[in-house]
Structure 1
Amino acid sequence: MKLLDKTKIWIAGISFAVVAGCSSGGELPPASAGSQGPGYGAGVSDTPVLVGQPYTINGRTYTPSDPSHYDEVGLASFYGNELAGRPTANGELFRPSGISAAHRTLPLPSYVEVTALETGRTILVRINDRGPFAGDRIIDLSIGAARQLGIVEQGVSPVRVRRVQPIDSDRARLRSGQPAQPRLQTSPQLLTALRAQFERGGGVIPPATPSPDAPDTTGRAGVDWQVENEPQTADPALRSAPTATGSYYVQLGAFSNATNAQRMASRAQRLGSVRVISAGNIRRVRLGPYSSQAEASRAQSRARAAGFGDARIFRDSGR
């Protein structure tokens, strides 16, 4: 997302995307005059609507506009909590858990329906920022929006973005940081047409992503990977570990697409030692090893705070 930190471009994931502030390659238009960076609530307004002047980032010029109809397919990215509390391009404070997004040219704010082309799930999103400026991505979602859309594990995901004029109650919910009322699932016929449109543009719809906590059925180099199935602790996502010796890992995601796995691994490098474990066609991105469950639990907490909300603990039994 393009935030008003004019010194950096933040890359939100390996895999995932630029989220970020201005680079030295150009400057965004300033936030609205006198803005104090309101958070969610009464300080957040849909007026005035800002369109803005053309701006240049990394040698590429973007011209904001106010089209009555906007409907495009392309790639969506997202970012985690690293920009929490920073001002967005229209002067609001960014909240990772909110259902918001960045777009290069649509007015600020504006509302769009975002549809995941892999699943047909559609959500309503409020655009209040500029970006992304990496590759050919067309929208950059907050992690709250990415979770609602179900694309956290994929990182970069094919989507449809369509501008809409939602009812006042849905606008108010998004301004307050809450999701809008559920949207209708995209019909199979329309989803087929949107996928074909995306593929004609050179995109590839990846196969469905396996569940991140699915156990490997085969090991690599003699390692027997196991998911702990003991009774759950107070944290329902954390399984209690047996007393047997062995190393512990924190799994961040599982992918059939190698590029997506590498993107997540790159994004996770700041959290410590990262490895991609291959078993058949499945690639699992894991942190570790850790010598105890307590150490792995601390790593899991750090991973979740960094935006890897589905981080799970696994154990190598050492057999």
Structure 2
Amino acid sequence: MRFVRLMVIGAAALAASACASVGARPGTGGGRPADVPAPVTDPAPIVPGTLRPYQIRGRWYRPAEQPDYDEVGLASWYGDAFHGRPTATGEPFDMHALTAAHKTLPLPGLVEVTNLANGRRVVLRINDRGPFVEGRIIDLSRAAADALDLRQAGVGRVRVRYLGRAPRLGGGQPLTPATAAAAVAPAAPTPPAAALIPAPIPASTLPVASGPVWVRGGAFLDRAEAERLAADFPGVATVRRDGELFRLTLGPYPDAETAARAIRGLSDRGVRGAEASDTP
């Protein structure tokens, strides 16, 4: 029993040491800017099972501790269709909280996300897995997308830095706008032409009235990619050209409940931001 107790004490000391390094980056001498959150002193345990390798749509993902994670890529967001549903940590998804989904960082964890178009920054609690669309590195809650001014565009180029373990509750907070120097990051490779780009339309709740309901499934840079997805919804999917994009629409469905099932089907295939509408 004493041996077990010593192991527990030792593990706690290691966790405290790791938390003390949150916010300190190589070359900073351990200091942190005034607007960076203080080190977490009450870290939540990593949720069992969330560091195991997993497979989505034939691709393997291998979560791991990544203390130096610092990446530039595309961010998307998700909201109404997932509000209240359990996340990968078991916490209910709250689209009004400052949270996000990531494919491989420990859960729950903290990340600093910077919108490279306007310098806005926010610290987010990572409590879910995703996004599973080529070219995207993080999926934001609706509130996080608003804080970064990304919601209307639907997608944007961001820098994501891992800060370490998250506190037991909360952990999200907006930061002051980054300076131009802080927002500069190495250029990310251009996403493949087949990368799915969500349509720049605001999310909406499902129509209340019964009757024909359509699902706007997003927009693609490559028609073949859109048509491959459309093939999974025979009889209800259409693909139309809109400038340089190809927009996918499903429907009409007889009611909002059936449309909601179609939105969940798109989500299972890695498509976020699909919404129901009373018009095609």
* TM class by smaller structure: 0.5 to 0.7
Aligned amino acid, residue 105 of structure 2: L
Aligned amino acid, residue 163 of structure 1: Y
Structure 1 residue 71 displacement after superposition: 0.4
Of 164, 170, 188, 2:180 maps to 188
- Corresponding position of 2:230: none
Give structure 2 stretches of 5+ with no counterpart.
1-42, 208-212, 217-272, 274-280
- Corresponding position of 1:46: 44
- Corresponding position of 1:244: none
Between the aligned partners of 1:100 and 1:156, the Cα distance in structure 2 is: 16
Structure 2 residue 170 is matched with structure 1 residue 174: yes
Structure 1 residue 122 displacement after superposition: 0.5
- Corresponding position of 1:164: 163
1:169-192 CA-to-partner distances (Å, cap 9, x unmatched) read xx47725xxx52x4242221233x
Instruction: Answer yes or no: is the 8 Å Cα contact 1:265–1:274 preserved in 2.
Output: no
- Corresponding position of 2:141: 142
Q: How many residue pairs end up in the alignment? A: 169
- Corresponding position of 1:59: 58
Instruction: Answer yes or no: is the 8 Å Cα contact 2:46–2:106 preserved in 1.
Output: no
Instruction: Answer yes or no: is the 8 Å Cα contact 1:100–1:127 preserved in 2.
Output: yes
- Corresponding position of 1:128: 127
Instruction: Answer yes or no: is the 8 Å Cα contact 2:74–2:155 preserved in 1.
Output: yes
Of 188, 192, 202, 2:190 maps to 202
Structure 1 residue 144 displacement after superposition: 1.1
Instruction: Answer yes or no: is the 8 Å Cα contact 1:112–1:127 preserved in 2.
Output: yes
Structure 2 residue 73 is matched with structure 1 residue 74: yes
| More divergent stretch after superposition (71-80 vs 84-93) | 84-93
Structure 1 residue 274 displacement after superposition: 11
Aligned amino acid, residue 202 of structure 1: T
TM-score by structure 2 length? 0.52
Instruction: Answer yes or no: is the 8 Å Cα contact 2:53–2:60 preserved in 1.
Output: yes
Between the aligned partners of 1:56 and 1:84, the Cα distance in structure 2 is: 24
- Corresponding position of 1:246: none
1:246-299 CA-to-partner distances (Å, cap 9, x unmatched) read xxxxxxxxxxxxx97x71359779766899xxxxxxxxxxxxxxxxxxxxxxxx
1:10-42 CA-to-partner distances (Å, cap 9, x unmatched) read xxxxxxxxxxxxxxxxxxxxxxxxxxxxxxxxx
Identical-residue share of aligned pairs (%): 41
TM-score by structure 1 length? 0.46
- Corresponding position of 1:225: none
Structure 1 residue 131 displacement after superposition: 0.6
Give structure 1 stretches of 5+ with no counterpart.
1-44, 205-258, 276-306, 308-319
Instruction: Answer yes or no: is the 8 Å Cα contact 1:268–1:274 preserved in 2.
Output: no
Between the aligned partners of 1:67 and 1:274, the Cα distance in structure 2 is: 38
Of 190, 196, 199, 1:263 maps to 199
User: CA 1:274/1:132 → structure 2, altered by over 3 Å: closer, same or farther?
Assistant: closer
Between the aligned partners of 1:155 and 1:100, the Cα distance in structure 2 is: 16
User: CA 1:145/1:269 → structure 2, altered by over 3 Å: closer, same or farther?
Assistant: closer
Instruction: Answer yes or no: is the 8 Å Cα contact 2:96–2:141 preserved in 1.
Output: yes
Aligned amino acid, residue 148 of structure 1: A
User: CA 1:135/1:269 → structure 2, altered by over 3 Å: closer, same or farther?
Assistant: farther
Aligned amino acid, residue 46 of structure 1: A
- Corresponding position of 2:105: 106
1:58-92 CA-to-partner distances (Å, cap 9, x unmatched) read 11100010111110000000012111111111111
Aligned amino acid, residue 264 of structure 1: P
Structure 1 residue 132 displacement after superposition: 0.6
Instruction: Answer yes or no: is the 8 Å Cα contact 2:53–2:62 preserved in 1.
Output: yes
Instruction: Answer yes or no: is the 8 Å Cα contact 1:72–1:160 preserved in 2.
Output: yes
Structure 1 residue 150 displacement after superposition: 1.1
- Report SS of the residue matched to 1:264: coil
Instruction: Answer yes or no: is the 8 Å Cα contact 1:111–1:127 preserved in 2.
Output: yes
Large movers: runs of 4+ above 4 Å? 265-275
